[in-house]
A = this chain, B = another copy of it.
Amino acid sequence: MAGNSFGTLFKITTWGESHGKGIGATIDGCPSGLAISEEEIQQELNRRKPGQSKLTTERKETDRVHIMSGVFDGKTTGTAISLVIFTEDADSSKYESMKDIYRPSHADFTYDQKYGFRDYRGSGRASGRETAARVAAGAIAKKLLAGIGAQIYAYVIQIGDIQTRRVDFEAIEQNSVRCADPDCAPEMESLILKLKAVGDSVGGKAEVTALNVPTGLGDPVFDKLDADLAKAMLSIGAVKAIEFGAGFDVCHMQGSQYNDQFIRQNDHLVTKTNHAGGILGGISNGMPIVFRVAVKPTPSIMIAQQTVDRNGQPRLFQLPAGSRHDPCILPRIIPVLEAMTALVLADKWLIQKTVKSS
């Protein structure tokens, strides 16, 4: 109950600090009989791991996943699935010097306030490294959803002031930014490298589209599909905002513009527009589920910053030379967005199996 679990029927519990012995996720409630392999999970982890491209931190981590339980003869057994990624090389020495400093925009201060002290090595539990456990667990949720034809795409649509003009799902994995508009990707890449060179970082926006999601997923009143997706996204450290469908533009709209009209198309109902983002009354309506999230610039920058220490004394904080951090976390956060979306949808899909008495 200290917040390390997510989901109702398809439920994950994650653990692990950045510089501890490892990180992991236990999945409770994955249906039996699903074919899954370490390789399939590894593929998703590889999309998140550091050192993939010159845009990301140069740390080399293999992030090798081990299925410790719950899978037998290549299939899930219905019992708890434990996934572990052992830490291979964590040099915590440089963190000694930071242990009393409250780094700006980091959770150092709030962890101390909450718990009385903190594991200061590599940000401990507050490190973005915890998202690897989400991606590993999400890979299994994705596999489950693939079985019903649902597909999830996350992609970058803005970095700094550069915004995409179109979405091409095929383009996403073809560029190192994971941008859906191949025309924008080089420009975004340049911007990120430019900021990396000066030791700064930059924020951006990502969009998620889920296709072929069955109608009926999501539970009114409080567990609406959009409510649970919002929680899932905002639980990712760098995400500061989310909007569904027309999003913040609804503020400017009138009902006569906003309302999506139903029409019949090939034997099923669709809406002419999708201002709702595929969700009505908290329940999927069969249209693409579409939402966007704002991702803040990485707090770790090479530029010296003014701050205070544990004792409230002013301190100048500067990362040690040679520190390796991401100038822009968006390319690596993409698989995390997909994983969290998959976890929500898999959970809602299982719940929906229990909703009708006949």
Contacts and interface: CB of A to CB of B under 8 A. Distances in A.
Contacts of A258: 105, 203, 296-297, 299
The secondary-structure label for the interface of chain A is mixed
Given A68-B15, A294-B251, A356-B33, A77 B118 contact: yes
Interface in A294-335: 294-301, 303, 305-308, 312-314
A307 to B, nearest CB: 5
A219 interface: yes
B281 A33 contact: no
A347 to B, nearest CB: 9
Contact of A264 (B1, B125, B312): B312
Contacts of A243: 240-243, 248, 294
Q: Place the interface of chain A in its size category.
A: 35 or more
B78 A355 contact: yes
Contact of A242 (B230, B312, B313): B230
A24 B71 CA distance: 15
Interface string A323-358: 000000000000000000000000000111111111
Contacts of A289: none
A216 to B, nearest CB: 4
Nearest to A308: B262
Interface string A240-262: 11111111111111111111111
Interface string A203-221: 1110000000001101111
A269 B69 contact: no
Interface in A1-37: 1-11, 13-17, 20-24, 26, 28-34
Contacts of A118: 72, 77
A158 B249 CA distance: 11
Given A29-B354, A31-B354, 18 more contacts: A2-B355, A9-B351, A15-B80, A16-B69, A17-B70, A21-B66, A23-B69, A24-B82, A110-B284, A113-B285, A114-B216, A221-B235, A231-B231, A234-B244, A241-B244, A264-B312, A269-B308, A353-B354
